[in-house]
Amino acid sequence: MTITEFLLPDYWMGQTPGPRYVQLRQRIEEAIEEGILGPDASLPPEREIAELTGLSRVTVRKAIQELVTKGTIIQRQGSGSFVREPAAKVEQSLSRLTSFTEDMSRRGMETTSKWLERGVFLPSPEEIVGLGLSTDDSVARIYRLRESNGQPLALERAALPLDILPNPIEVGKSLYEVLEKSGNRPIRAIQKISAINLEDEEARLLGVEPGMAGLKIQRISYLDTGRVVEFTRSIYRGDAYDFVAELRLDNPKES
Ligand code: 16G
Q: What is d(CA 209, CA 238) in angstroms, rounded to the nearest whole number?
A: 12
How confident is the model at residue 127, as a pLDDT?
95
Place 254 in a pLDDT band, splitting at 50, 70 and 90: low
Report percent pLDDT > 90 for the chain: 71
Is residue 255's pLDDT more than 60? no
Testing ligand 1's pocket by substitution, the residue of 91, 144, 184, 232 carrying the most ligand atoms inside 8 A of its CB is 232
What is the atom index within ligand 1 of the atom nearest the CA of 99? 13
| Ligand 1, atom 6: closest residue by C-alpha | 99
How confident is the model at residue 243, as a pLDDT?
83
Where do you find CATH 3.40.1410.10 in the chain? 90-244
* Ligand 1 and 217: CB distance under 6 A: yes
User: DSSP assignment of 30-62, as one string?
Assistant: HHHHTTSS-TTPBPPPHHHHHHHHT--HHHHHH
How confident is the model at residue 11, as a pLDDT?
86
Contact between 168 and 118 (Cβ < 8 Å): yes
Testing ligand 1's pocket by substitution, the residue of 91, 94, 97, 100 carrying the most ligand atoms inside 8 A of its CB is 100
Strands 73-76, 80-83: pairing is antiparallel
Where do you find CATH 1.10.10.10 in the chain? 3-83
Q: What is d(CA 149, CA 104) in angstroms, rounded to the nearest whole number?
A: 9
Instruction: Quote the ligand 1 centre to 74 CA distance (angstroms).
Output: 30
Testing ligand 1's pocket by substitution, the residue of 219, 233, 242 carrying the most ligand atoms inside 8 A of its CB is 219
* Ligand 1 and 100: CB distance under 6 A: yes
Indicate the average pLDDT of the chain.
Answer: 92
Per-residue pLDDT, averaged over 165-176, amounts to 95
Per-residue pLDDT, averaged over 115-121, amounts to 96
Per-residue pLDDT, averaged over 83-98, amounts to 82
* Ligand 1 and 101: CB distance under 6 A: yes
Is residue 144's pLDDT more than 90? yes
* Ligand 1 and 81: CB distance under 6 A: no
- 3-83, what's its fold? Arc Repressor Mutant, subunit A (1.10.10)
- 90-244, what's its fold? Chorismate lyase (3.40.1410)
Question: pLDDT, tens digit, for every residue of 172-214?
Answer: 999 999 999 999 999 999 999 999 999 999 999 999 989 999 9
Per-residue pLDDT, averaged over 86-98, amounts to 80
Which DSSP helix (H) or strand (E) runs through 213? strand 213-222
